[in-house]
C-alpha cells in the first residue's frame, strides 16, 4: 500500500501563487506516475498534471499550461505542484494520486481509473 498526504492548500487572491506538496509513504517503489487532479463544486474531476518518476516526463492539462509546474524529489518521495497566476476558476479540492502502471503517453493516461492510490485532498480557493 501507498499512503499520500497533501498539504499547502489555502485561500489566495487571483494572480497569486500556492505550492502544494504530496508526501508518499509505504510501498513507494510501486509508484510509477503521480498526478494531481482537482474537483470543483458541481463539476467533474479533472486531471491537472502528472509526472513519471523514472524520467521526469510531465503532462499538463490545457487550463494550467504555462501557470502550473509539477516536480518531484525522488529521495524524499515528494511531489510538488507550484501554482502561479491563480484564477478563481482554479478553485477546487486538489488530490494527489499515484499509479503502479508504467505508461508512456501521459496524456492518454490522464484518467482517474488509472490511479491506484489517492490522498485526502486539499482545498484551494482563489478569490477575485
Q: Model confidence at 1, in pLDDT bands (50, 70, 90)?
A: very high
pLDDT of residue 123: 98
The distance of Cα 7 from the centroid of its chain, to the nearest Å, equals 11
pLDDT, position 64: 98
Q: pLDDT tens for residues 69-118?
A: 999 999 999 999 999 999 999 999 999 999 999 999 999 899 999 999 99
What's the helix, strand, coil split of the chain in %, to 5? Answer: 5, 50, 45
Cα separations in angstroms, 71 against 29, 40, 94: 17, 23, 16
Task: Please state the rounded mean pLDDT for residues 3-30.
Answer: 97
58: left (phi over 0), alpha (psi -120 to 50) or beta: beta
What are the grid coordinates assigned to 87, written together? 484564477
Amino acid at each position: 500500500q501507498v499512503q499520500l498526504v497533501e498539504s499547502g492548500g489555502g485561500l489566495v487572491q487571483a494572480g497569486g501563487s500556492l505550492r502544494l506538496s504530496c508526501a508518499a509513504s509505504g510501498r513507494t517503489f510501486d509508484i510509477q506516475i503521480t498526478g494531481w487532479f482537482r474537483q470543483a463544486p458541481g463539476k467533474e474531476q479533472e486531471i491537472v498534471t502528472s509526472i513519471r518518476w523514472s524520467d521526469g516526463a510531465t503532462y499538463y492539462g490545457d487550463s494550467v499550461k504555462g501557470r502550473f509546474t509539477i516536480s518531484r524529489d525522488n529521495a524524499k518521495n515528494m511531489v510538488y505542484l507550484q501554482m502561479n497566476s491563480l484564477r478563481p476558476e482554479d478553485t477546487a479540492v486538489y488530490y494527489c494520486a499515484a499509479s503502479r502502471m508504467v505508461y508512456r503517453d501521459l496524456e492518454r493516461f490522464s484518467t482517474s481509473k488509472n490511479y491506484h492510490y489517492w490522498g485526502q485532498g486539499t482545498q484551494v480557493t482563489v478569490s477575485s
